[in-house]
Structure 1
Amino acid sequence: MASKFFSNLFGVVDDEPETADYYEDQQPAQQAPAPVPTPAPTRSNKVVSINNARVAPQPNSSSKIELVEPRVYGDGKEIVNHLLNGNAVIVNFDQMDAKVAFRIVEYMKGATYAISGKIERIDAEIFLCTPQNFEISGKLAPTLSSDGLDDRGDRY
């Protein structure tokens, strides 16, 4: 019907009349067999829910304190692996550029937050990172806040 409207509008003459019985000669369509439901594809576990994420292991007799003196940004992965294995880590940034050290500290803060651990500044360039199963007693330096500033206002 729309084509007839446009044909008349533009002055095109249609020789073939439009009829309702245009499709009468054909056989009625047969019903196709009902589709067989296919099993839903299994989900791959490539994405891990936060609730299923790795949590710091429970305390055991083999807990260690690792000493790390990073030289490049890639050494931050080693620090985080120690934390994920349930070990505390003392990190000395004395031999590293301050900007790169800051990036590693941010990386360590994210990892300790993810495992409900703690990160504390021991000295100007020395930090202690502990998983959840470690308890730190005593206070040598202020704990880092979430904005990266300690109580003295130093940024690290």
Structure 2
Amino acid sequence: MSMKGKLRNIFGFDEDEYEVIEEEVTEPVAEEGKSKRKNVVSLQAVQKSSKMILCEPRSYEEVQDIADHIMNRRSVVVNLQRVDVQEARKIIDFLGGAVYALSGEMKKVGSQTFLCAPDHVEVTGNITEVMEDIDLDQRW
């Protein structure tokens, strides 16, 4: 006799006493007027932490690091006061393409300051500034 058989005999179970019962499982039918999606939560709505990155690049070589922050779903404020006009235009062109590719948004918040926001950040409002004292070549 096997070990299972000995244990069955000790506890008083015989193989003939077992009966397999199969039950049909049915899903509950939703009542009309009630939504099935009542308890669904969007994972995009639950963000553990949001970060705002402040960048002040000194050359065009730093633009890829800034774009990496945007790709990692972080908002970036870019201050271009420390670069010359030609490099600043290249930086803005590169970041504009990166933000567009990620369905984000880019807003000018100062004369040489830009906000690059990924798609999950909503940017509203406008900032107007007086451009009287600024040379026309420096306008973007």
The TM-score normalised by the length of structure 2 is: 0.59
1:7-86 pair list within 5 angstroms:
58=44, 60-86=47-73
Residue 134 of structure 1 aligns with an amino acid whose one-letter code is V
Give unmatched runs, 5+ long, in structure 1: 1-56, 143-153
Residue 101 of structure 2 aligns with an amino acid whose one-letter code is A
Quick one: distance in 1 between partners of 2:128 and 2:64?
Answer: 25
Matched, 1:117 2:104: yes
Q: After TM superposition, give the deviation of residue 155 of structure 1 in Å.
A: 5.3
Quick one: distance in 1 between partners of 2:124 and 2:48?
Answer: 19
- Output the aligned Cα RMSD: 2.0
The runs of 4+ residues in structure 1 deviating greater than 2 Å are none
Bigger-Rg structure (1/2): 1
The secondary structure found in structure 2 opposite 1:127 is: strand
Give unmatched runs, 5+ long, in structure 2: 1-42, 130-137
Q: After TM superposition, give the deviation of residue 58 of structure 1 in Å.
A: 3.7
Quick one: distance in 1 between partners of 2:128 and 2:118?
Answer: 18
Q: Deviations over 1:109-133 (max 9, x none)?
A: 0000000000000111000000000
Matched positions, count: 89
